[in-house]
Structure 1
């Protein structure tokens, strides 16, 4: 069935979901919505990618809209002010470009270039204003997007975001080393690392930015809130692994839940896909239960005070967006050109990347 019963743009078409990737519960129980700012979001993020030289002009022209990065964010951060959503969407687009650079540095055996970039990103994260004119567009674009995110909620939220993203950078470094050495992590080690390479807590932090409300630690760390947040992100990470498995097998990847299951658990590829689907479906059912607990917890926060009611409303809005993540992620994987490996001239080289990106030659 189509993601939307009525077209929201001239480029929205009905998508046929392959049986192996079809999740009827998402299509029926998780209605998809888009932030009303989405058409403008797509246009402005495309312009930002060009302005910051994060993708060559021909790649932007041919692929940017078809990759649908802005659809993913516009389907997640519902209710966010337009300016906040734009900052999040540009940061998200940057993240995909960074992921592609990381992949190309591995493919082209550029450990020196990766090491240099890793250190520069750590520095830009701590002082984005000092790196806005960096010679590497990836560093300058990161500084720009992070600096804009830092403008919304204040120093404590900024410090938490920085702490969480420093850990993401280091996780990418561990993945770099695993891939260059051909090391397939065990299932347990992979799942732990995946929570960082998928940036679980970054996207969850940004839910607060979208809601315009910094949650106190007692709320963020409450089991009811944390379980709902974790399950929404686990679903997204594992469904991404399921959809990207053909692309990553073609590219001799070692970082995918399916690959770890085959390598360490002795499963056939078909059995591994079945195991991944089971885990994904358990995330969905687990979230539906956790969502109810999180909403009851939100109700309990609405004590007889203005502050309690505001906090309760913010938690409810955030939990609603955790739910939106399921449909946003699901449809993104079937609409985005990022996963259409069968249509590529070279199954190991995505057509939307600059295969000779800046780096050590």
Structure 2
């Protein structure tokens, strides 16, 4: 494995330099409801006992996931944006569970994933409530019910399918970390470390699910007041445009989080995989991945420009034209919003890297193994939030 030293005061400069390699914009189009959503989600997560104390709240708040949601859904506000921000916040709390020991225990990951999947199978009207499952699962149960309530069956089935793909990706990642993922013929074909992703293409195939973009895109439909028919949603070119959106977000995230993931030794990063395979300098790998992101984004925009004519040829009515245009905007918001947030959050700067270096985990990162101490903190008074982010 290559080694890479980066002094904390140089990391911000490195991030900005790497971000300049992207040809697409970093969005600043923020929903006016972002600040209200920020307060709402911290209150919501705190109500379920996700945070142990004020310091945990402050550390979470510094990451400004509300900005990510506000950039993803710039035309949403009120309860809709609150819901979108709850989804984004829960994603990251859940993701942080796997940065430590749990992420290297495939059987334990499978049990946790199965527990979350079971909640998606509960009857919306008569599912369990107050079951004592702990902060992570109880907050998900509440989130799942609110997201699905009143939605058309075709949309709920689509959303659940994307959610299950996301959840099961964590088990596959754990298998790869431990070298226990079965491979055809027993060979990985890379000459690299056992358990490491075989290629950029292989890590991308997994990360398209683990990045969690598809459920976020799904929310654009209820937020916009439309539901795409399955043939349109799953056909060309929208299905391929969604995949391109996944890829752009994955590549952007892998470049933005590079120093953080080098610090913790995570191999599920396309830049690190490219560096391992091609050798040379780390920044050569960064440029290669940025070029891939730019190519995907150019293809997306070229295809978006052709869509109105394609829909007209297919005999689409004006409502369909409008729904597709809104959906395409939603994909674009996710790509450019993710880059915009990456440049503003403390998750990927020197504070974020230091926060997970030396074996340290986030305060909310052990909700599956230390639920009782966290649950004891429920009902505590919440600290007021300042006007800006408050780093740890």
* Partner in structure 2 of residue 10 of structure 1: none
Check 1:295–1:207 CA distance in 2 against 1; reply closer, same or farther (3 A cut).
farther
Contact 1:105–1:114 (8 Å) recurs in 2: no
C-alpha deviations, 1:138-188, integer Å up to 9, x for none?
A: 111111111111014222211221122112211110001112336111122
Q: Structure 2 residue aligned with 1:158, among 144, 156, 159?
A: 156
* Partner in structure 2 of residue 88 of structure 1: 84
C-alpha deviations, 1:239-298, integer Å up to 9, x for none?
A: 101111111111111111012212334454232112111111212222221221234445
Question: Quick check: 248-257 or 97-106, which moved more?
Answer: 97-106
Q: How does 1:289-308 map to 2 (within 5 A)?
A: 289-298=302-311, 303=316, 308=317
Distance apart, 1:50 and its partner CA: 0.7
Measured in 2, the distance between the counterparts of 1:131 and 1:163 equals: 22
C-alpha deviations, 1:292-312, integer Å up to 9, x for none?
A: 123444556775xxxx32222
Question: Quick check: 78-87 or 254-263, which moved more?
Answer: 78-87
Aligned residues: 340
Q: Structure 2 residue aligned with 1:38, among 34, 37, 44?
A: 34
Check 1:354–1:41 CA distance in 2 against 1; reply closer, same or farther (3 A cut).
closer
1 or 2 for the larger relative contact order (CA 8 Å, sep ≥6)?
2
Higher share of residues assigned helix: 1
Check 1:212–1:267 CA distance in 2 against 1; reply closer, same or farther (3 A cut).
farther
Q: Where do 5+ consecutive residues of structure 2 fail to align?
A: 1-11, 180-193, 372-392
Contact 2:136–2:368 (8 Å) recurs in 1: no
Q: Structure 2 residue aligned with 1:239, among 229, 247, 252?
A: 252
* SS, match of residue 347 in structure 2: helix
Q: How does 1:190-339 map to 2 (within 5 A)?
A: 190-298=203-311, 303=316, 308-339=317-348
* Partner in structure 1 of residue 130 of structure 2: 133
* Partner in structure 2 of residue 58 of structure 1: 54
Measured in 2, the distance between the counterparts of 1:131 and 1:338 equals: 35
Distance apart, 1:112 and its partner CA: 5.2
Measured in 2, the distance between the counterparts of 1:240 and 1:250 equals: 15
Q: Where do 5+ consecutive residues of structure 1 fail to align?
A: 1-14
Tell me the TM-score normalised to structure 2 length.
0.78
Check 1:295–1:341 CA distance in 2 against 1; reply closer, same or farther (3 A cut).
farther
Distance apart, 1:354 and its partner CA: 3.4
